[in-house]
Amino acid sequence: MFETVDNFIIFLTGIFQNLGVVITFIYNVILGLRDFILSFFSIAGTLLNILYFLFSLLEIFVSIVLNPYLLMMFILGTGFYYASFTAETKKDMLIKTGVYYKYVGETISKIFSYVYNIVSRLIVGIIDMI
């Protein structure tokens, strides 16, 4: 007679233990989802900060390119930095500065010719469409 009661009690404790395991599993899954969502928002904030810094850098580059005075100061400054870092003597520094400005002049003339070509083709295309 007591064996049946003992077996029933053992059965109930087994069910409650298994139920505790299931509840613990569900609780851990919910906590894992919460941690995932919190880490996602943390990463999203970091990514937004990185995007902000990248757009600020892009703004600096665009402002340098669009403002002729800033562009000339940038070209002059980088020429001096290039010459000072690559030259070993004062004479070599003058030569390197000249080589740099020659390269920049040739490149700017090529860029201007490409821009002129593109703009003229756009204008001719717009006139032909009309």
**Domain extent listing, the chain:** 1-66, 67-130
How far is 66 from 86, CA to CA, in rounded Å? 29
Tell me if 45 sits within 8 A of 51, measured CB to CB.
no
For residue range 84-103, what is the model confidence (pLDDT) as tens digits? 888 888 899 889 999 999 99
Residue 19: what pLDDT? 67
Tell me which of 123 and 26 has the higher pLDDT: 123
Residue 73: closest CA among 81, 82, 86, 64: 64
Looking at the whole model, is its pTM more than 0.75? no
Tell me if 104 sits within 8 A of 79, measured CB to CB.
yes
Q: Which tokens in the block code for residue 32?
A: 């894992």
Q: Give the amino acid at 87.
A: A
For residue range 38-70, what is the model confidence (pLDDT) as tens digits? 888 888 888 899 999 999 998 888 888 788 888
